[in-house]
């Protein structure tokens, strides 16, 4: 089956710890994105990557870091510098030729 996988579905961490969220796609898409969703709100762009070994900051990149060493993978690290990390994190990809974005199932991160 082709698609985007995110793991884990639920993640719990203590304050002060860095945590890495996984995002893998086998759709052969060039571009990948990370969004954050808070309750009752829309999606806000954290980072995006249009090609391997290249990525750009989105609207709310502070406290986050990413890497894009492989086309299929775009992990997101939530660092201890992120002041309010508890949220629903969504990864998406797009073929590049069209603009439709395909989303993974999301990871719900809770930091206490």
Is residue 34 a contact partner of residue 58, using CB atoms and an 8 Å limit? yes
Residue 64 half-sphere exposure, CB side, CA atoms within 13 Å?
26
Distance, CA of 38 to CA of 44 (rounded, Å): 9
**Minimum distance from residue 78 beta carbon to another protein (Å):** 19
**Min dist. Cβ of residue 74 to another protein (A):** 15
- Which residues are near another protein by CB under 8 A? 31, 35, 40-45, 48, 50, 56, 58-59, 90, 94, 96, 98-106
Give the tokens for residue 40. 């009752």
C-beta of 10: minimal distance to another protein in Å?
Answer: 12
Give whichever of 19 and 90 is closer to another protein, judged by the CB atom. 90
The answer to whether 77 and 20 are in contact (CB under 8 A) is yes
Report the alpha-carbon angle 87-8-81, nearest 5: 45
The smaller minimum CB distance to another protein, of residues 85 and 106, is found at 106
> Looking at beta carbons only, is 82 or 94 nearer to another protein?
94
- Smallest distance from another protein to CB 17, Å: 25
């Amino acid at each position: 089956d082709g698609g985007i996988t995110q793991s884990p579905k639920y993640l719990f961490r203590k304050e002060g710890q860095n945590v890495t969220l996984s995002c893998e796609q086998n759709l052969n898409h060039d571009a990948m994105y990370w969004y954050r969703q808070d309750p009752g709100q829309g999606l806000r762009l954290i980072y995006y990557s249009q090609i391997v070994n290249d990525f750009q900051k989105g609207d709310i990149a502070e406290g986050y870091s990413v890497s894009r060493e492989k086309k299929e993978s775009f992990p997101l690290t939530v660092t201890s510098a992120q002041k309010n990390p508890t949220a629903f994190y969504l990864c998406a990809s797009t073929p590049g030729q069209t603009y439709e974005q395909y989303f993974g199932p999301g990871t719900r991160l809770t930091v206490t």
